[in-house]
Amino acid sequence: MAQKTYMKTYIIGNWKMHGVRTSARALASTVLDAAGRLASQKTEVILCPPATLLSLIADLTYNTPVRCGGQDCHAEAEGAYTGEISAAMLRDAGATYVIVGHSERRAGHSESSREVNRKAEAALAAGLRPVLCVGESLAERKAGRAMDTVRRQLRESMPRQGDTKRVIVAYEPVWAIGTGQVANASDIAEMHAHIATLLKSEFGFAETEVAVLYGGSVKPANAAEILRCPGVHGVLVGSASLNAEEFVAIINAAQS
Ligand code: PGA
């Protein structure tokens, strides 16, 4: 994988709203056993548990090559926002990353790209690396508007302030999330080339300065092919990250 010689491969597990202490401890321990060996200078493995489990996972991964992250943060540093969690709180709990703009939040919580932009900037300000998700719906892809959608989302949600090189972009076509339907290799390569061009033309990033991941039904069976696509610097994994064996197989695919 030529493009991996100068950029890390990121394997991120998004546990979503799954897990309690017992199951999380067992899952993380199994992943750690294997990933502790596999995660290396070239591969960054990141676990994103629900907020209630973050401290536990941060403790378990302390002093190991595995990192952890939150699944969302509030745009404000603190305040009267019942039920919300700030980026600084995630950092305090042991996170070094945070997912922002996941389609389940954009759709299910009506988050606008502007809101996602503020969250990403808040994450950077708190010292976290935001994993900024973008991706078109099925209707947008069918209407030939996938590129335009991603351009608009990126333009509006990419942070403009802070150490913006620390952002990781995740391209997650909404129709591929949790459906078992994966974008084909040429569509993935095409969108990743589009994103690289936008990162350069709109934000001035040199090629490969910002990592761009793919997400949506990534499994052991398709991980190697996806990771071989030009411009793909890693994967954001949902359901397969809840199965230690499958997640470890995906981490393994990044080594080959
Ligand atoms: P999935 O989820 O792997 O279950 O499709 C991916 C994601 O939502 O990040």
Single out the catalytic residue among 74, 102, 192, 233. 102
Q: Write the pLDDT tens digit of every residue in 132-155.
A: 999 999 999 999 999 999 999 999
Mean pLDDT of the chain: 93
The predicted model scores a pTM of 0.95
What is the CATH number that goes with domain 9-70+85-255? 3.20.20.70
Counting atoms of ligand 1 from 1, which one is nearest the CA of 12? 9
Counting atoms of ligand 1 from 1, which one is nearest the CA of 179? 5
Closest CA to 137 of 243, 216, 75: 216
Q: Write the pLDDT tens digit of every residue in 80-122.
A: 999 999 999 999 999 999 999 999 999 888 899 999 999 999 9
Q: How far is CA 194 from CA 60, 168, 174, 213, 251, in A?
A: 38, 15, 17, 13, 26
> Whose Cα sits closest to atom 1 in ligand 1?
238
Give yes or no for residue 38 having a pLDDT over 80. Answer: no
Distance 162 CA to ligand 1 centre (A): 28
Single out the catalytic residue among 115, 136, 140, 172. 172
> Within the chain, what is the greatest distance between any pair of CA atoms?
49
Name every protein residue with a CB atom under 6 angstroms from any ligand 1 atom. 14, 172, 177-178, 215-218, 236-240
Instruction: Kindly give, in sequence order, each residue whose CB lies less than 8 Å from that of residue 137, ignoring residues fewer than 6 positions away.
Output: 149, 174, 175
Distance 79 CA to ligand 1 centre (A): 31
Q: In the prediction, which pLDDT does 4 show? A: 41
Distance 178 CA to ligand 1 centre (A): 5
